[in-house]
Structure 1
Amino acid sequence: MRILILCTGNSCRSQMAHGFLQAMDSSLEVFSGGTQHAARVNARAVEVMREAGIDIASHIPTHVNVYLDQEWDYVITVCGGANESCPAFTGKVGRRLHMGFDDPSHAEGSPEFIDSEFRRVRDEIRAAFARFYRSEIQKEKFHEHTP
């Protein structure tokens, strides 16, 4: 099963979702991209994911255009900007979903507050993608193996 997770910068929320979903099931082909991809993954996102036991330090932000002509079982946007500007895919897309999350990289305040925002969003992403995995992926996998 092939899943593409999109965000504007592909440096934070989509990378976290990518990391969680891949960790839930290594048989999934999970990719992430951005409509205006950043130069690198956000260092705080790497840090809070490491706290959760997932290493996304080697992930590289990728422009969504790389994926346009490929086939996807799911294309999931995790921010309003990507949901609105998500280009039309020329390849086959089974289902397109939107799960919006606040952008912790826009948090302002003390370092402690900013870190707490990254953790809050990380935990929301983990919970939402766990629900998605249980309700969609496991259900589809069960149906694939049921005669």
Structure 2
Amino acid sequence: MTTTLALVCVQNAGRSQIAYAFAERERAARGLADEIELVTGGTDPADHVHEEVVAAMREVGIDIADRTPREVTFAEIRSADYVITMGCSAEDVCPAGWAGENRDWDLEDPDGQTPEAVARIRDEIEARVADLFDELEAPR
């Protein structure tokens, strides 16, 4: 059985891009490519990933410079087992009748922040993603 994890934010240009990149890394490192499907997107996507986010991820060896924010669809959300929002309400994201679990990580927006602040946000997201994968892996 595949578990679908959606990492969602308004612009899909910062926090959700960081979370998606770390989730890709965790999924590969744990050998869960056949068991966990990842989706990322935003309700009102930006034109590009924030430069300070690209730089912060480069510092930890992850290149997201070529990524483009995208709109998440209700179909993607409806089919997700977990929808993780980054500090933006899920009210406009999760459709009526959706049976999955929603969690809001209530993270500060890295857009326009200092490199040190973005690094703190990045590191918090990395830890949360690892914890989530620990949780998803536990019943296996």
TM-score (norm 2): 0.83
Given that residues 8 and 86 in structure 2 are in contact (C-alpha distance below 8 angstroms), is that contact kept between their aligned partners in structure 1? yes
State the identity as a percent: 31
User: How does 1:43-82 map onto structure 2 within 5 Å?
Assistant: 43-64=51-72, 67-70=73-76, 71-80=79-88, 82=89
Deviation per residue, 1:59-100 (Å, 9 max, x gap): 211112xx31131121111122x434324167x553222111
Find the partner of 2:102 among 96, 109, 118: 96
Matched-pair contact (CA < 8 Å) for 1:22–1:29: no
Query: Which amino acid letter does the alignment assign opposite residue 104 of structure 2?
Result: H
Judged with a 3 Å threshold, the aligned counterparts in structure 2 of structure 1 residues 106 and 46 are, in CA distance, closer, same or farther, namely: closer
Provide, for residues 2-56 of structure 1, a one-character-per-residue CA deviation record: whole Å limited to 9, x for no partner: 2111111100000000000110013132121111110011111111111112222
Query: Could you say which residue in structure 2 is the equivalent of 1:139?
Result: 138
- Per-residue deviation, residues 114-143 of structure 1 (Å, max 9, x unmatched): 1111101000111111111112x1124x1x
Across the aligned residues of Structure 1 and Structure 2, the Cα RMSD in angstroms comes to 1.8
Which 4+ stretches in 1 moved above 2 angstroms?
Answer: 82-87
Distance in 2 (alpha carbons) for counterparts of 1:85 and 1:106: 25
TM-score (norm 1): 0.79
* Greater relative CO (CA pairs within 8 A, separation 6+): 2
Greater shift after overlay, 9-18 or 96-105?
96-105
Partner residue of 2:27?
25
What is the total number of aligned residue pairs between the two structures?
A: 130
Q: Any idea what SS the aligned residue of 2:81 has?
A: strand
Q: Which has the larger radius of gyration?
A: 1
Taking the aligned partners of 2:43 and 2:125, their CA distance within structure 1 comes to: 19
Conserved? CA contact 2:7–2:83, under 8 Å: yes
